[in-house]
Amino acid sequence: MGLLSKKDSKLISDPLLDNNPITIQVLGICSALAITAELQASIVMSISVLFVLGVGNVVISLMRNIIPSKIRIIVQLVVVAALVIIVDQVLKAYAYELSKTLSVFVGLIITNCIIMGRFEAFALGNGPWRSFLDGIGNAAGYGFILILVGFFRELLGSGTLLGYAVLGDPIEKTGLYAIGYENNGFMLLSPMALIVVGLIIWVQRSRNKALIED
Amino acid sequence: MENRTDKNSYTLLFAVGMVIVVGGILAFLASSLSPAIAQNEKIEKQQNILYALGINNNEGSSAVFIDASEAPEEFKKNVTEQLVLTFKDGSIVKTQTRQEYMDEANQEPYLIDVKKQQNLQKTEGTRLLPLFVGKNPEGKTLYVAPIRGKGLWDAIWGYVAVDEDMVVQGAYFDHKGETPGLGANIKQTYFMDDFTGEHLLNDSGVFKGITVAKGNADPKNNDKNDYEVDAIAGATITGDGVTAMIKKDLGLYVPYFKTLKK
Amino acid sequence: MEHIELFFKSIFIDNMVFATFLGMCSYLAVSKKVSTAVGLGAAVIFVLAITVPLNWMLDQYILQPGALKWLGAEYASYDLSFLSFIMFIATIATMVQLVEIIVEKFSPSLYNSLGIFLPLIAVNCAILGGSLFMQSREIATLGLATTYGVGSGIGWFLAILAIAAIREKIRYSSVPAPLRGLGITFIITGLMAIGFMSFGGMLTGGDEEEKSDTNELSVMPVDESNELTIQATALEDKLTQVNQ
């Protein structure tokens, strides 16, 4: 990271682990539960949030001195919603196939509290460049957890990764299934996402004792 | 920062300005892009209907439409007639051909908005039922009907192709926002293909529909006469939505198929 | 009857937290103490009860295709549904800002304990989710929309109250240190959600009736001549159903 000062690079690296939006700041949980039954959906969602949070943080940061504090929530929401709708409409007109894959996520992105949370906590008080880095860092931390959860749920739940059967064929009984392994369909249900995140928190806090709550 | 941005007049001015700017951008975008979007949606509908007829580029387990550029031509070639049935108070009172409907409404029958028609049925008891007559790749005549319902999060819809005995020959389902990996799998080939060969009517001609059943005795769906297909694990509500839309919408077509048999 | 069914359905079967996992962020973060949980829960009921009917009216009279008919026939073809996200959000954000101002005036202690999460009610997906479900499930009347809003709010209130009570008690248990706080809350919520799945079977009795209804409707005769035979077969079919 030769381009970035030490302080700036911390903005990116912190949210990846020690200040992770999902496991520490408790932001953006709903979407982490809704879409992680499949690895591919987790990846698509992570990239979309990376884009929206990066651009949104810059826009809000540029506007931070002219936004009236009384209606700042409305302004923030309008900025996100407008941004997402514009992208959605443009994709619908020029990249229809892609837009169909993404349409599921439009509502989830607008209401993703990670976006509002970072606007409120960071972009309103910092310059555009630092806000951009903060947005990218937090979105990456968010995506990291999402992809991790998606990986375990898809692997254990349907025995596939990105749709490819990696553990063998459950009907033909090849690969792992030949020795009696069964898919755990329970992993596909949303409550299991909560439990997987809980376990990730366990691992993370065992490694870094400073994060333990009392 | 006790300054101008806290004043009421400034707040009001800002709000008005924001509404005008954002509203302007969105309205401009919506009106300038709407022809392109409408064109894309039109082609998608054609692709859906062709898919139900069995005309697609499926590879392995993923559902692939025929190319968007080929769709209009293929649609013209394979969909030989588009009927519009008028449903009123429990029976079909009028049958129009494509030409008759086009003269009256100046719109292709396949563009009839199913959601709007469902609302009309609720409020006025009458509804238009489009029915597309086409040939599958084997040259057999099939009838494709659109259906629409509700899943867990949002709308789900589909096209079901049946022969004149109302035995399903192909189905296409789609959704607006079902859970990826769960409800969203209704548009996977393994789920859609299960419907092929299922009967909608019992031996005495009573409409039974097809139930998306979990834990049924026949997970590989060898029995095509049980009015059941295997559900997707973890997607109960979406599956129930599919069951309901088949019952509610396809059931309305039964009287028409009875006239075919006479 | 319709109201009662929708009310219980939105509290238990379609519980915002346990069935659709909406509003999780504030649910997890503000459930440390029962008193704050009650405050936030009440705020959510209040906001949902106002915004769902409000957005219902917006949807019916402005946004839906053809909704502008009341302005005159020439407006009937307008379709503003692409604006629904932004309109719903604007309504919600306005209401939330209102609640924020009111709470700050009358209960500064609650205002302080809710902290960042009061503005976050605006993006509490349970609130927008309520309005979007109302739209996609095509709730028919203003009254039903209100019932739905209140019911969903109570469901959310119940969920956060339950988890807050458990969290207050669990402090006395010997949870492994790294799991304490957030970790164990995630896991308990998961288990509660699995428990709530059992409510799914609660209203299936109603579906059976509906089924026989559609059967009857679909075999309505085309003309007089085959009316009798069809009715006979329908009867026969019903008899076999009853026998089963």
d(Cα B163, Cα B176) in Å, to the nearest integer?
Answer: 28
Q: Which chains touch A (3 or more CB pairs under 8 A)?
A: B, C
Which three-class secondary structure state does DSSP give residue C79? coil
In the prediction, which pLDDT does B243 show?
Answer: 92
Å from C224 to nearest chain B CA?
12
Q: Which residues contact A145 (CB under 8 A, 6 or more apart)?
A: A20, A22, A23, A32, A197, A200
Cα distance from C224 to chain A (closest Cα, Å)?
Answer: 47
Burial of A33 (0-12, 13-18, 19+ CB in 10 A): buried
Interface test with A, best of C83, C85, C133 (most A CBs within 10 A): C85
pLDDT for B231: 83
**Chosen from B4, B25, B33 to mutate, greatest number of chain A CBs within 10 A:** B33
Report d(CA B194, CA B188) in Å as an integer: 10
Nearest to B6 among A65, A68, A103 (CB): A68
Q: Which residues pair with B130 in a beta bridge?
A: B84
Structure tokens at B77: 């070639």
Looking at residue A58, its pLDDT comes to 93
Tell the burial category of C3 from Cβ atoms under 10 Å away from its Cβ (0-12, 13-18, 19+).
Answer: middle
Q: pLDDT: is A72 or A139 the higher one?
A: A139
Give the Å distances, CA to CA, from C169 to A195, C32, C173.
Answer: 20, 10, 8
pLDDT at C225: 41
Which residues sit opposite C137 in a β-bridge? none
Chain-chain contact of C194 with A202 (C-beta, under 8 angstroms): no
Higher per-residue pLDDT: A199 or C75: A199
pLDDT recorded at residue B220: 64
Q: Is the CB of residue C55 less than 8 Å away from at least one CB of chain A?
A: no
Given a cut of 80, is residue A100 above it in pLDDT?
A: no
Please check the confidence at residue A95 and state whether its pLDDT lies above 70: yes
Evaluate the CA torsion angle B242, B247, B249, B254 in order and state its sign.
positive
DSSP secondary structure letter of residue B216: -
b/e map A50-73, b = 16+ CB within 10 Å: bbbbbbbbbbbbebbeebbebbbb
The distance in angstroms from the start CA to the end CA of chain C is 28
Around Cβ B262, how many Cβ atoms within 10 Å? 8
Task: Say whether A66 and B14 touch across the interface (CB within 8 A).
Answer: yes
Rounded to the nearest angstrom, the gap between the alpha carbon of residue C172 and the centroid of all alpha carbons in its chain is: 34
Q: Is A92 exposed, middle or buried (0-12, 13-18, 19+ CB in 10 A)?
A: buried
Tell me how far CA of residue B110 lies from CA of A128, B49, B50, B78, B146, in angstroms.
49, 9, 12, 14, 9
- Taking CA–CA distances from A78, the nearest residue in chain B reads B22
> Domain residues of chain C, as ranges?
2-203, 212-244
Q: What confidence tens digit (pLDDT) does each residue in C171-221 have? A: 888 888 888 888 899 999 999 988 888 887 666 544 443 433 444 444 443
pLDDT the model gives residue C238: 52
Q: In this predicted structure, what is the pLDDT of residue C46?
A: 85
Chains that touch B (3 or more CB pairs under 8 A): A, C
Residues of A in contact with B182 (CB under 8 A): 37, 188
Q: Could you report the predicted ipTM of this complex, rounded to two decimals?
A: 0.82
Q: Is A162 left (phi over 0), alpha (psi -120 to 50) or beta?
A: left
State which residues of chain B have pLDDT below 70. Answer: 1-5, 60-61, 215-222, 225, 262
Whether residue B94 lies within 8 A of chain C, CB to CB, comes out as no
Other beta carbons within 10 angstroms of residue C239's beta carbon come to 10
Predicted confidence (pLDDT) per residue in C86-133, tens digit: 788 888 888 887 877 887 888 788 777 666 566 667 667 788 888 888
Q: Averaged over C157-170, what is the pLDDT? A: 92
Q: How confident is the model at residue C148 (pLDDT cuts 50, 70, 90)?
A: very high
CB distance A151 to A161 below 8 Å: yes
Query: Are B232 and B239 a contacting pair, CB within 8 Å?
Result: yes
Distance from C-alpha of C140 to C-alpha of C138, rounded to nearest angstrom: 6
Q: Which of A78, A89, A212 sits opposite C180 (nearest CB)?
A: A212
pLDDT of C237 reads: 54
Which residues have a Cβ under 8 Å from the Cβ of B18 and sit 6 or more positions away? A75, A78
Among chain C residues, the shortest Cα distance to B234 is held by C197
pLDDT at C118: 67
Partners of residue B230 on adjacent β-strands: B213
Which among C218, C222, C225 is the top mutation candidate for probing chain B, defined by the most B β-carbons within 10 Å of its own β-carbon? C218
Bridge partners of residue B128, in order along the sequence: B86
The beta-carbon neighbor of A71 closest among B11, B233, B234 is B11
| b (16+ CB within 10 A) / e for C131-147 | bbbbbbbebeeeebbbb
**Do C162 and C31 meet the contact criterion of CB atoms below 8 Å apart?**
no
Give the full edge-to-edge strand order of the sheet including B79-88.
B91-96, B79-88, B126-135, B141-150, B155-162, B168-175
3-class DSSP string for chain A: CCCCCHHHHHHHHHHHCCCCCCCCCCCCHHHHHHCCCCHHHHHHHHHHHHHHHHHHHHHHHHCCCCCCHHHHHHHHHHHHHHHHHHHHHHHHHHCHHHHHHHHHHHHHHHCCHHHHHHHHHCHHHCCHHHHHHHHHHHHHHHHHHHHHHHHHHHHHHHCEECCEECCCCCCCCCHHHHHCCCCCHHHHCHHHHHHHHHHHHHHHHHHCHHHCCC
Interface touch B202/C66, C-beta < 8 Å: no
pTM (2 d.p.): 0.77
Please answer yes or no on whether A154 and B181 come within 8 Å at the CB atom.
Answer: yes
Q: Is C243 exposed, middle or buried (0-12, 13-18, 19+ CB in 10 A)?
A: exposed
Helix C34-58, helix C142-170: angle, nearest 10 = 160
- Quick check: A29 and C28 CB within 8 A? yes
DSSP state of B239: H
CA angle in degrees (0–180, nearest 5) for C192-C194-C196: 70
Confidence check: pLDDT of C223 > 50 = no
Find the closest chain A residue to B5 by CA distance.
Answer: A68
